[in-house]
Amino acid sequence: MSWVDVEHVSVKVGAATLISDITLGVEPGTWCTIIGPNGAGKTTLVEAVAGLRRIASGTVQIAGQSISALNERERARLVSLVPQHPQVPAGMTVHDYVALGRVAYHGVLRAPSAGDKRVVNEVLERLSLASFAQRDVATLSGGERQRMVLARALAQSTMVIVLDEPTTGLDLRHQMDLLELLKKEVAECGLTIIATLHDLTLAGQFADRLVLLDQGVVVIDGAARDVIRSHELSDHYGMNLRVIDVDGSDVIVPVRN
């Protein structure tokens, strides 16, 4: 049994099947990125892993515990989420926003404990956010904001983090910074990452494993380098993709037909 075990999971909305019979096992300390064209079901899959989607059939287990059998608070101690479009409430300080990551521990009626405060301050320091801990979240740049959302997820102290397009809206430099930061967390803390990414080059460079979804089903699953170099990739994206080796790294370039 893997650390994150997705077994024969299907998610439906009304008559539409968004993902169908997906089976996926992710080992601890692994970075698994879900790729695929728009509408492939990437977001649905990661939301199902985070326990935010009603599963029509199958099971999702994390550390041997079925996600659907847990309440929100128990689930939030196992898996944290970095959404594609996080809602950032204006007027809240960066510190208070990151501290929301501890709600699963102290509950909504009690104040954060000394331990909760220590975790929040450590995460703020680690992600270089301490200097603007008292700033209004609405005043942050895109890169700072995304780092803050990641800090909130890290404050949850979960061993599994699910990220849905975490680099959306960031320039190249900030995309790389964020992913490097995550890579460091995986290496140092043994985190398990399940992420979706549209940028195939970045997906290939940072993930240990790539899973290609198309029309709600897994079509390729394997080591990042193998999936990126797979001939089927172009077929599933419906376009001509070329892989170029730049100093040992694969760069995926779309080519006009």
> Could you list the residues that contact another protein (CB under 8 A)?
47, 50-52, 71-73, 75-77, 79-81, 83, 86-93, 96, 100-101, 103-105, 108-109, 111, 134-136, 139, 152, 156
Residue 231's Cβ-side half-sphere holds a number of Cα atoms within 13 Å equal to 0
Dihedrals phi, psi of 195, to nearest 5 degrees: -130, 155
Other CB atoms within 10 Å distance of the CB of residue 179: 24
Q: What's the rounded Cα separation, in Å, for the pair 228 and 214?
A: 15
CB of 94 to another protein, least distance (A): 9
CB of 131 vs another protein, minimal distance in Å: 15
Least CB distance from residue 101 to another protein, whole Å? 7
| Residues 174 and 142: beta-carbon distance below 8 Å | yes
Q: Cα–Cα distances in Å, from 167 out to 128, 163, 174, 219?
A: 18, 9, 8, 24
Task: Give the residue with the Cβ less far from another protein, 8 or 73.
Answer: 73
Within a 10 A sphere around the Cβ of 48, how many other Cβ atoms? Answer: 26
CB of 104 to another protein, least distance (A): 3
Query: DSSP 3-state assignment of 213?
Result: strand
* Closest separation in Å from C-beta 105 to another protein: 8
Query: For residues 45 and 252, which CB has a smaller minimum distance to another protein in the complex?
Result: 45
CB of 67 to another protein, least distance (A): 12
CB closer to another protein, 61 vs 80: 80
HEC sequence for 104-153 = HHHCCCCCCCHHHHHHHHHHHHHCCCHHHCCCEHHHCCHHHHHHHHHHHH
Q: Which is nearer to another protein, 73 or 118 (CB)?
A: 73
Residue number with CB closer to another protein (147 or 209): 147
CB nearer to another protein: give 53 or 236. 53
| Residue 236 CB contacts under 8 Å (≥ 6 apart), including other chains | 36, 37, 212, 214, 219, 220
Closest residue by Cα to residue 125 from 145, 87, 101, 98:
98
Q: Closest separation between CB of residue 232 and another protein, Å?
A: 33
In the structure encoding, which two tokens stand for residue 153, read together?
């997820």
**For residues 128 and 134, which CB has a smaller minimum distance to another protein in the complex?**
134
